[in-house]
Structure 1
Amino acid sequence: MPSAPVDYTRTSARPAFAALPEPVRAEIARLAGAPVQAADPPVGSGFTGSYAGVLHLADGRRVFAKAGGPAMPHVITGLCREAEVVPLLAGLRCVPTLIGAAQVDGWAMLVLEHIDGHQPGMPWSARDADLAHAACLEVASLPPERLEPLHLTGLVEDVAANWGIDGAFGAFARGQRDWPHGIRRPSPEELAELAALAGRAGTALRGDALCHNDVRPDNLLITADRAMLVDWNWVRASPPWFDLVGLWPQMAHDGIDLARFDDSPLLADADPEDIDCFLAVIVAYMIEDVDAPPPPGCTDALRRHQLWQAALFLDLLAARRGW
């Protein structure tokens, strides 16, 4: 099988810790509870240009810090949301501990526990897949009383308002848009079926379970005994299977037999047509702006990621539909 055209350890261009404004660095040290003695190079994963990296403290501890400034208001919004969400998920084994959060001079910052782990998916192993499944199950099993303080938006509302997929496949079928280069173009019959599947989103993606909503290999860290999920700024209410199925296309590409999940509680009440709807929606979402320049702070790897994911989701959908 061909390897991924994206190195997910090198998708971002981030500033070094020393390049952050002095008040920001000082506030991060205050949140961490000790002076910063050294900083590792910023992480290369992710798709923004904000700071994220491991810091070595004078008391011997390591922490993971994130910071975003006024030039990236979307990052500030995300960090503030993560600061709200993570403490409300305390006790889940797959959620890192938030040490502190603050805002200074128009900057937002988080300090989290350091996680000693590796990113899965290079390629996926059966063990990593099972640990990722366990994390998705833990998240989706959170009882309703734990969800109320999160004030979750439904995934359906996101799809309707923000994802720009309405009619996308029809536009391709009518020749109003050119199909992206580098991905197999569906036949007219397949495009019609894709459009019909995407049209189910209003009911297929409705649910009351918590979903991380951005589970991908670079938001996972595999430790000695669990998978940890990071970047908790996109949580939504969804069907319980949503996070897990979002990992299936790359797992399948890497040779993981998806039948290992057949008995998962996450799939107990899942309609296969709803899952296929989700796969179709993600194909549309990924190709919607794949030919546009990347947003400020993002590298070209974002668009390569979108094209690659669209191809993987389309491949899995084709296999499931018998195309």
Structure 2
Amino acid sequence: MTSPTPARTRLAWAQLPAHVQQAVVEQVGAEVVEATSHEGGYSPGMAATLRTAAGERVFVKAVSSGFHERSAELYRDEARVNGLLPDGVPAPRMRWVVDDGEWVAMGFDAADSSLEVPWRPDDLAAALELFTAMAAVPAPAGLGSAADFFGGMPSWADAAREGADLGSWDPWVAEHLDLLVELSIDWAQASVGDRLGHCDARADNMVRLGDRVLLTDWPYAAAAAPWVDLLCFLPSAELEGAGRAAEIWASHPLGRAADQARATALLAGITGFFVHGSVQPPPPGIPHLRAYQRAQGEVALAWLRQRLADGLAGPV
């Protein structure tokens, strides 16, 4: 199974206003002669690798508040977080930021390639090693807590309070909604830790640079438990052909070392986020998001039910 194909096109380099293009040219130091757009992901902002007349390659993201306000907010958050990341973090180096109050653009070292799905064994192995490396990095000062990040996301309690229409889901969901609410009461708190967490790791947020897989798109980074990124990654990974989430979790050192009750609570909350999101209207500019949340939710729900059947739940 692969994830839903994006049903929109990002902003292109040629669509940027002349003053924004000129600001980028001043940063890269030469005229842009080629722009290769990267259409994956879940933001409508420009994401392109630019080649200059000097032969240099740089990856640039750009968006305006007027075009997509939420993306502009995230780009600014991403720029702030990238300024906090310590040396050696598996992320492309941010070179510069341009922000005129309306348009925000960032330049990064260009990757060699995006990751392809279905997952290839060598890419998956490198991604799983990446999570091990991340777990060794203390969260830098200035980052918030993963509990605050996840605590701001809707989940099962919101679905129950709003009377969300869950009729398109397996009847088990509606029949066990009270249990799901109870399981996820403290789901955000389950993520608490002192390691650097990306909190949005998926194939479309990873690239290849040399023999390394790197994480891109860091606006949600936070201090987290060392296993949080691995757990959050696995529903999308299974969806995109990596193998069963439960089996990868059980075989990975971070999964084996995790507090399993806390992991189940976080998985329950994330599953509720996907289910709740799947029945909402599509957000402006990202019409394919709900289908992707639905697909991830189905994987996460199956994994959660398996963990419950195996007795891997309890108070956080």
TM-score band, normalised by shorter chain = 0.7 to 0.9
Shift of 1:73: 2.7
For 2:309, the equivalent position in structure 1 comes to: 322
For 2:314, the equivalent position in structure 1 comes to: none
For 1:206, the equivalent position in structure 2 comes to: 192
Kept after mapping to 1: 8 A contact 2:202/2:237 = no
Kept after mapping to 2: 8 A contact 1:69/1:76 = yes
Q: C-alpha distance in 2, partners of 1:136/1:255?
A: 15
1:179 and 2:166 aligned? yes
Q: C-alpha distance in 1, partners of 2:73/2:161?
A: 33
Task: Give the one of 13, 23, 28 matched to 2:24.
Answer: 28
For 1:77, the equivalent position in structure 2 comes to: 73
Q: C-alpha distance in 1, partners of 2:252/2:3?
A: 31
Task: Give the one of 223, 227, 232 matched to 1:241.
Answer: 227
Instruction: Note closer, same or farther for the CA distance 1:197–1:61 as it changes in structure 2 (3 Å cut).
Output: same
Q: C-alpha distance in 2, partners of 1:293/1:255?
A: 29
Kept after mapping to 2: 8 A contact 1:180/1:290 = no
Task: Give the one of 89, 107, 115 matched to 1:111.
Answer: 107
User: What's the secondary structure of 2:51's corresponding residue?
Assistant: strand
Shift of 1:96: 0.2
Instruction: Note closer, same or farther for the CA distance 1:49–1:249 as it changes in structure 2 (3 Å cut).
Output: closer
Kept after mapping to 1: 8 A contact 2:63/2:72 = yes
* C-alpha distance after superposition, 1:167-205 (max 9, x if no partner): 246459xxx332052x42325664333222101325422
Flag structure 2 segments of 5+ consecutive residues without an equivalent. Answer: 311-316
Kept after mapping to 1: 8 A contact 2:89/2:134 = no
Flag structure 1 segments of 5+ consecutive residues without an equivalent. Answer: none
User: What's the secondary structure of 2:39's corresponding residue?
Assistant: coil
For 2:150, the equivalent position in structure 1 comes to: 159
Kept after mapping to 2: 8 A contact 1:140/1:209 = yes
Q: How many residue pairs end up in the alignment?
A: 307
Q: C-alpha distance in 1, partners of 2:242/2:56?
A: 38
Kept after mapping to 1: 8 A contact 2:156/2:269 = no
Instruction: Note closer, same or farther for the CA distance 1:306–1:263 as it changes in structure 2 (3 Å cut).
Output: closer
Kept after mapping to 2: 8 A contact 1:94/1:229 = yes
Kept after mapping to 1: 8 A contact 2:143/2:221 = yes
Shift of 1:319: 2.2
Instruction: Note closer, same or farther for the CA distance 1:180–1:280 as it changes in structure 2 (3 Å cut).
Output: farther
Instruction: Note closer, same or farther for the CA distance 1:266–1:65 as it changes in structure 2 (3 Å cut).
Output: same
Letter in 1 for 2:9: A
Q: C-alpha distance in 1, partners of 2:260/2:27?
A: 46
Letter in 1 for 2:22: A
For 1:227, the equivalent position in structure 2 comes to: 213
Instruction: Note closer, same or farther for the CA distance 1:130–1:284 as it changes in structure 2 (3 Å cut).
Output: same
1:270 and 2:258 aligned? yes
Kept after mapping to 1: 8 A contact 2:268/2:304 = yes
Q: C-alpha distance in 2, partners of 1:286/1:224?
A: 34
Letter in 1 for 2:29: G
TM-score scaled by structure 2?
0.87
Instruction: Note closer, same or farther for the CA distance 1:57–1:234 as it changes in structure 2 (3 Å cut).
Output: same
Percent of residue pairs bearing the same amino acid type: 26
1:6 and 2:7 aligned? no
Shift of 1:293: 2.8
Letter in 2 for 1:226: R
Shift of 1:36: 0.6
Once superposed, what is the RMSD of the aligned Cα atoms?
2.5
Shift of 1:208: 1.7
Q: In the TM superposition, what are the counterparts of 1:276-315 in structure 2 within 5 Å?
A: 276-298=264-286, 300-315=287-302
Task: Give the one of 127, 130, 141 matched to 2:125.
Answer: 130
Q: C-alpha distance in 2, partners of 1:317/1:288?
A: 16
Q: C-alpha distance in 1, partners of 2:280/2:249?
A: 36
Kept after mapping to 1: 8 A contact 2:156/2:180 = no
User: What's the secondary structure of 2:113's corresponding residue?
Assistant: coil
Q: C-alpha distance in 1, partners of 2:174/2:73?
A: 41
Q: C-alpha distance in 1, partners of 2:302/2:187?
A: 20
Kept after mapping to 1: 8 A contact 2:164/2:276 = no
Shift of 1:224: 4.7
The more displaced of 24-33 and 132-141 is 132-141
